[in-house]
Structure 1
Amino acid sequence: MLGIVLFLGNIIGTGVWRAFADRTRNAEVIAFAQRLVTLTDWAFTLSGVVLILVGGYGMASAAGMI
């Protein structure tokens, strides 16, 4: 569950950050927002994907599929 929250929450959050940054039409603000989007993608989206994969493997193992 935590993996899904990290994965989807980060995708939605970064979309909002980027949309607000783009509305300013200020290149410095947009560049800063993009750096944060890239950083949070690596930190939160990647960790969310890993947790989802580990959870899926665990459920498949518990169900006797592996």
Structure 2
Amino acid sequence: SSPDLPLSSLTFAVKDIFDVKGYVAGFGNPDWLRTHEIATSTAPTVLAILSAGATCVGKTVMDEMAY
């Protein structure tokens, strides 16, 4: 990313409820992860952070179904 962007020096992880193109949002549930399709687009909230220059380093482990 460009050093001129406001978040260019920051990294972040995406909670497993948000779509990231090329990955399955598993909602913390292995059956959900196994039976759902790979995302074809990235969630607008994640795109906003990426567009501001931050670097995504991975997806988080979360409680099942966001509880």
> Larger % of strand: which?
2
Higher CA-based Rg: 1
**TM-score with structure 1 setting the length:** 0.29
> Larger % of helix: which?
1
**TM-score with structure 2 setting the length:** 0.29
